[in-house]
Amino acid sequence: MDDGFAFRSGQLDRAAQLRATDAARRDVRAKAHVFWRGKLLIAGDSRPVLAALDHPALVECRDTPAFIGLTPDGPRFAADLTLWEPREDAETIGQFTDASNQV
């Protein structure tokens, strides 16, 4: 299981030779680390959330997910969902909060 392997020092193969091709994007193991307003999306166990490149949430990306390199588990990308806004109604208001302040 990929547990944020790409963020450990020296553990990511930058694979510069793949940047000018679409090969990494076509790999069925390709996944994206998801960022929202500069913050990495993490699960309840503090592991980075990885989304398949065809995940519906990635439709909200401002730009095409950027290839960041290879891990033993496959190609990794970074996807920015900065433009996404959580939907809130009477039942969900306040459930999605980000109390942190980024400077």
In this prediction, residue 85 carries a pLDDT of 72
Q: What does the pLDDT look like over 29-55, one tens digit per residue?
A: 999 999 987 888 888 788 888 999 999
pTM of the model: 0.73
Q: Which residues of 76-100 are buried (b: 16+ CB within 10 A; e: fewer)?
A: bbbbbbeebeeeeeeeeeeeeeeee
Q: What does the pLDDT look like over 2-37, one tens digit per residue?
A: 545 555 556 778 787 887 788 899 999 999 999 987
Instruction: Classify strands 74-80 and 31-36 as parallel, antiparallel or unpaired.
Output: parallel
Cβ distance 52 to 98 under 8 Å? no
